[in-house]
Amino acid sequence: MAPPPYVGAGAILPGSTRHPGGSDRHPAKQRGTLAGLPARECVVAQNRAMTTTTTFPDSHRDLLEAQVATLATINGRGYPQLTEVWFLYEDGQLKLSLNTSRLKTRNLMRRPRCSLLLLDLRNPYRYLEVRGEARIAPDADREFARRVGAKYGADLSVHDRPEDSRVIVTIEPVNVYAVDMRAS
């Protein structure tokens, strides 16, 4: 099977229609429906399922203590690169301890835009997504790495080579999406 063709700007995707003025619209959206629901019900369902802010809502604060998160960075070719990471929520901020030799760290140093997904493992229809900019600072004494390790009962230095160093990555939220798609 041949790989899919490159889809560049202005391409018409399958299931889309070209409209005057050059906009691409999905047929369901042009009829005011989503998955067969009337437009009014779609808006109500979307508003109930997701709220957007730059702060962490009380409804999802428990996820800030989750055991694992998915970090999405952008690689050199513009594609997302996802990695499961350990993190700390301290002083009102989400922070990571990363080894500077890792691809995710190099990606963030070149392109600081990222996303961190905290999934409720008991209910995968509920999650918190934090999109933002990575602020990177050295962790020369590895004190922050030790605090992250304490949360997980692990020594992060076992993953480091002698020449490696660690950084503290603080995610500065641009958008925080609190999603809960459970039936109510």
Instruction: Give the tens place of pLDDT for each residue, 11-26.
Output: 334 444 444 444 444 4
Give strand ranges (E) for the chain: 17-18, 24-25, 50-53, 69-74, 80-85, 88-90, 93-99, 113-119, 126-138, 166-180
Q: Within 10 Å of residue 111's Cβ, how many Cβ atoms? A: 15
Burial pattern 6-44, b for ≥16 Cβ within 10 A else e, equals: eeeeeeeeeeeeeeeeeeeeeeeeeeeebeeeeeeebee
- What residues contact residue 177 under an 8 Å CB cut-off, 6+ apart? 50, 51, 52, 128, 129, 130, 131
What CA–CA distance (Å, rounded) separates 57 from 119?
15
pLDDT tens column, 103-157: 999 999 999 999 999 999 999 999 999 999 999 999 999 999 999 999 999 999 9
Homologous superfamily of domain range 56-180: Electron Transport, Fmn-binding Protein; Chain A (2.30.110.10)
- Assign 41 a pLDDT band (cuts: 50, 70, 90): very low
Q: Say if CB 174 and CB 116 are below 8 A apart.
A: no
Which residue ranges make up each domain of the chain?
56-180
Distance of alpha carbon 183 from alpha carbon 144, whole angstroms: 40
pTM of the model: 0.71
39 compared with 150, residue with greater pLDDT = 150
Greater pLDDT, 59 or 42: 59
